[in-house]
Amino acid sequence: MTRLDLATLRAILEGRATVKLTSTDTDRLDASAASVARVLATGNAVYGVNTGFGLLASTRIADDKLGQLQRNLVLSHCCGVGAPLPDAVVRLVIALKIISLSRGHSGVRRVVVDALQTLLDTQAWPVIPSQGSVGASGDLAPLAHLSAALIGEGHIRLKGEELDARAALKRIGLEPLVLGPKEGLALLNGTQVSTALALDALFRAEDVFNAALFAGALSIDALKGSDAPFDPRIHAARGHKGQCDVASTILLMLQGSAIRESHVDCDRVQDPYSLRCQPQVMGACLDVLRQAATTLVIEANAATDNPLVFAEDDAVLSGGNFHAEPVAFAADMISIAICEIASISERRLAILVDPKMSGLPAFLVEDSGLNSGFMIAQVTAAALVSENKTLAHPASVDSLPTSANQEDHVSMATFAARKAGDIARNAANVIGIELMAAAQGIDFHAPMKTSPPLAAVHATLRQKVRFLDGDRMMAGDIAAAAALVEQGAFGRLLSVNPEG
């Protein structure tokens, strides 16, 4: 299995790709498992292989109890709570665990990875509670629920039906796995859940970011803003790549607008920051998302359990690759970036609904007073932005000791990643509302037309959300617009992938 790139990881999450072992992978697995067997034969104490765990690492376990030790480990760690992880995230978790184990540093037999592969291939998704991990020693509780399904405990979803794990395994042609030395520990240790959640948030952020570029450009035209702030000379003078990318993209989107041509000689000197500073704000967000992407691609391809096996000299080394601090930082970076994307969007929306600043009908509706128009849609956006500000507080700066102070510093990466996804969902609604408002503003300039690229955005939105000619229930419109954002319906102008 070669190193997976960001595009492939996204395709796996969305069910458009999978992972498959190569002969090189199976050779590494076999060598690693053989190394564990040789180490056991020496009679030496090896953490997690023939000892207890955490504070009990000094407790030696008899050879005839090693299988029971691994089973007990899995069952004792099944302490997750909260709503189950979505199937798409579970799919990516399984794929990431296969990738990690296939690196050949985990000491598991090929049969373990084959069982995970069968879950993936048959779309059999273990029911994994979303809460209960502190991100070190890896995602213990959620990965325990994944592992429990392999040994016939817990529950599995098959085609939307939740079954007892043993019954589900039988249906897909698997016998419950009997774990060998170290195998339970290898399955439980690792950052696969936090990494999968962070990748899910990153991909959501990418869709929100691109929709926000369209929304921002559409708002500029609806508000008869200037395109001068997007002159490439301004941004080259500063030099940030994301800023330059955003400026050139917005400038391109505004080209060919009859609305822009109608006020090219106006006497307005400067637009509000939420219009003219989009390259500086959105570009900084793009740079942050690209840095997070770099971290998460490395993590997705890493061996992150403990101890690690190095078959070339039968070394079994205890370390800390399970500590998810890189993932926690990446997830918090994603959260902060999405929070800012939604924040500046709401400020543009506030201008659009204010007749003193916009020159458009109050709250973007005729007969305002009789009609409230977009008044409460902007309130909804403000509520979501405020919520996001609280959610964006970094989880990575917190730590609570666990396991009787053996695990005395943890990352909180799983919560960091989970809330990043929540922030992205909120932001999709905010951007959806701005798109609706900006499209409404464009319509008030008829018969003048916007640019061809923005006309295409307008047309896509109008397929789902009609012009607001009077008050109606807008919740369905907002949901439809947010769905377009989340589906990437407006296209991908700029990628968060620094390699692509």
Q: Which of the residues 40, 46, 47, 207 is marked catalytic?
A: 47
Report the distance separating Cα 108 and Cα 308, nearest Å: 11
Establish whether 47 is a catalytic residue: yes
Tokens 């543009």 -> residue: 348
User: Could you tell me the CA-to-CA distances from 217 to 282, 337, 434, 453, 492 in Å, in that order?
Assistant: 12, 19, 11, 10, 14
For β-strands 315-317 and 308-310, DSSP reports them as antiparallel
Tokens 């601090």 -> residue: 325
**Which residues are marked as active site?**
47
